[in-house]
Amino acid sequence: MTMTAHSHFTTARRRLDRSSFPWRLYARALRQGVWNPHAIDFRQDRQDWLALTPLQQDVLLRLTGMFQAREEAVTLDLLPLVQAVAQEGRLEEELFLTTFLADEAKHTDFFNTFLEEVAEYTGDLSAYHQANYQAVFYEALPNALGRLRQDSSPVAQVRAAVTYNLIVEGVLAETGYHAYLTVLEENAILPGQQQGIVHLKQDESRHIAFGIYLIERLIAAEPELWEVAQTQMNELLMPALGVVQETFDIYGEAMPFGLTPQVFTDYALSQFESRLNRIASAAQMTPAAVDRRYRQESYD
Ligand code: MN3
Ligand code: FE
């Protein structure tokens, strides 16, 4: 569908729907999403970095190398979803999505700043992208989102949101930052990096909330899409968990910081399961009931 003319403007016919979930997410982004990676003081982080062992540095560089490319990927790949939502004239959703894309750009900048100011790393991080990581970030994510350029059908939107919000952000980003922050806190290192990760976690939680909302909205309108969502999740859950496993396999018993794969996978799976249940419930609801549930829930 190519839009060549506007039939009307939402804000001419009505005012912004401020009790809608997407508008409330947008309002939250206006309050919470205003942080500046360049205002973070990384001086102590640099001192801490120099006191780490080479193996500890290698683990943190590997994680950063994975986080960095992931943030770049989600920055590069989001636009077709924004466009699909815009084409449907969903103004409140698009307002939120403008903050979403800016958040991802900021996250890309944040890890880059860490590499420059703390690790002072000038090498190529691609070697840290192993087979499962490549399957998700080099293939599955750009495929699912890029598809929307030719086909913005509800099926393609569900596949895109499951891939982007539930797997890449839900299983991988959220879990990665949770475990990473736990390590930094327990070892009392990298205070600037800790501050940034706290912001990133808040940002990601808004993004994931939007993705779940989008998937529920689509499934409530077309319950058959629940099958599509499940198939997409089942296809991607193994490579996503494989990203964790292949990272631990590199270090074996020598893994520093007392890190275990369970810290990652237990958290990932419990978050994933509760979201799955929530989405499954939308398949039994009318679009109006889903909308009402979101309006009634407190999220401020
Ligand atoms: Mn991000
Ligand atoms: Fe995100």
pLDDT of 300: 59
Nearest ligand by distance to the CA of 200 = 1
C-alpha to C-alpha distance for 122 and 137, rounded to whole angstroms:
22
- Tell me the C-alpha to C-alpha distance, in Å, between residue 119 and each of 42, 67, 114, 116, 203: 10, 14, 7, 6, 24
- Please give all residues whose CB falls under 5 A of ion ligand 2, grouped by chain where several chains appear: 169, 204, 207
Instruction: Kindly report, residue by residue over 11-65, the tens digit of the pLDDT.
Output: 999 999 999 999 999 999 999 989 999 999 999 999 999 999 999 999 999 999 9
Q: How far lies 125's CA from each of 36, 48, 61, 64, in Å? A: 24, 21, 8, 9
- 103-147 pLDDT per residue, tens: 999 999 999 999 999 999 999 999 999 999 999 999 999 999 999
pLDDT tens-digit series, residues 64-105: 999 999 999 999 999 999 999 999 999 999 999 999 999 999
Instruction: Tell me which ligand sits closest to the C-alpha of residue 71.
Output: 1
pLDDT of residue 170: 94
Which CATH code is given to the segment(s) 19-27+39-119+126-296?
Answer: 1.10.620.20
CA of 204 to the centre of ligand 1 (A): 6
Ligand nearest, relative to CA of residue 108: 1
For the chain, what are the domain ranges? 19-27+39-119+126-296
Task: Tell me, yes or no, if the pTM score tops 0.85.
Answer: yes
Ligand nearest to the CA of 164: 2
- Do 70 and 111 form a contact (C-beta atoms < 8 A)? no
Question: Mapping DSSP to helix (H, G, I), strand (E, B) and coil, where does residue 76 land?
Answer: helix
CB 221 within 8 A of CB 227: no
Cα–ligand 1 centroid distance for 269 (angstroms):
20
Which residues are in the CB-under-5-Å shell of ion ligand 1?
A: 104, 107
Q: How far apart are the C-alpha atoms of 257 and 60, rounded to whole Å?
A: 10
Question: Dihedrals φ, ψ of 219, to 5°?
Answer: -70, -35
